[in-house]
Chains A and B, each alone.
Chain A
């Protein structure tokens, strides 16, 4: 219990955190729109698809809600809207350079608890519509979850062992003047990235929203509900990228520029990498990924934890 490594700012700054998260969502969606337009190769309208997400948002806000028979409206809305809230709660513990909103001593566990919330929320979105396809999508997500969650948890353990603290600010501070954790714990970093992509239902982990089941969890989502759900996915991806910065990428460390700029630069870089990778990786089938997660990822990340622990004991 020494002095805190970051300064806690007034709660009102949470609005600034939400604004930054919103900006990251717009940026990510714009890049995704541009990449989609380039992939389609057709006339993509003004700006080469960059503005597509904004037009899509405007369209969804005007669209009338689709209703289904005997839908559980409360759980359905809760699931969709909860994703954005979860993402905001995740970034609450991420220090922006030297400032943080919520300097929790167990910040890493907090992030972990929030990413588990996504299990409940995505399944509820699938359940609420009372539609077979969307429920199948919900189950697909949980099947993925059983495969990715434990490796993700043990991936978060590695930097914590090295920093000897669950406080996010201290984990970042432990990388000052030394090698970033992402570089000397590559397995943990890769598995963490996989986990972020997975809890955002993104790229290889999108079968829960697959076209083969009429877009699964999102099958019956329309209007504002769909908009909020999609924003939630991008926000989770952005929050996961932001959390990787203090955990694996040295926090605010970097030459010339102030710490907070480096945090933003690193977050945006990782986020854009995730967006770009979406089209480069094949989908992981939930049934097959389960074995991959337990037979390959989990042992690999446990060995990584062991290596980190041995190195830390060696250093004394």
Chain B
């Protein structure tokens, strides 16, 4: 009973905080309203006995929002996000899309023929969930992740304005490197 109430209250907090993202007029408030929404979802996942997944959601999302707040304030163009500003644009279309998505998903929840539980949940539900989601595709994922990291590194290298010739000179023998922002280990 208490657990049920807690679960539903957290759900309400998650939805309300998510809505607040578009209602507030400050970048910081919008960002941390989203963080609160994710924290509520993470706590709900704890109620589903997926402790690892729940705590990781809280960890990752709070960290991500902390970094996102920095970028939002930094890159918000003409209005540098230090002033009050509206969090919505093109609101009519956005509202239509939002309501349409909500109705589709809600219809899906109500119309799908959910299976009834046949056996008791396994002792390690997180492991069971992982097996169920990844199962035979684990090898593929394990191969893809280094490829993805390599892609990110390559993307950054290609996009970077300065090359090693800027840092070390034409013969790559200029030490220490000529960096606009000196680092801590004296490379």
Contact = CB atoms under 8 A, between A and B. Distances in A.
B66 A288 contact: no
A287 B183 CA distance: 7
Interface in B66-80: 66-67, 69-70
A295 B186 CA distance: 11
A272 B183 CA distance: 32
B51 A72 contact: no
A149 B181 CA distance: 21
Contacts of A106: 51-52, 55
Given A112-B59, A120-B66, A145-B66, A166 B52 contact: yes
What band does the interface of chain B fall in when counting residues whose beta carbon is under 8 Å from A?
Answer: 20 to 34
B75 to A, nearest CB: 14
Nearest to A146: B67
A164 interface: no
A142 B28 CA distance: 15
Interface residues of A, number: 33
Interface in A288-306: 288-292, 295-296
A120 B35 contact: yes
B32 A75 contact: yes
A139 interface: yes
Contact of A72 (B28, B52, B62, B187): B28
A23 interface: no
B182 A288 contact: yes
A190 interface: no
B145 to A, nearest CB: 16
Contact of B26 (A72, A166, A285, A290): A72
Closest A-B pairs by Cβ, 4 of them: A288-B184, A291-B183, A113-B59, A292-B184
10 contacts: A106-B52, A113-B59, A113-B62, A116-B62, A116-B66, A120-B66, A127-B28, A142-B67, A142-B70, A291-B185
Interface of A: 1, 72, 74-75, 104-106, 109-110, 112-113, 116-117, 119-120, 123-124, 127, 139, 142, 145-146, 149, 166, 285, 287-292, 295-296
Given A106-B51, A106-B55, 5 more contacts: A75-B28, A104-B55, A113-B59, A120-B66, A123-B69
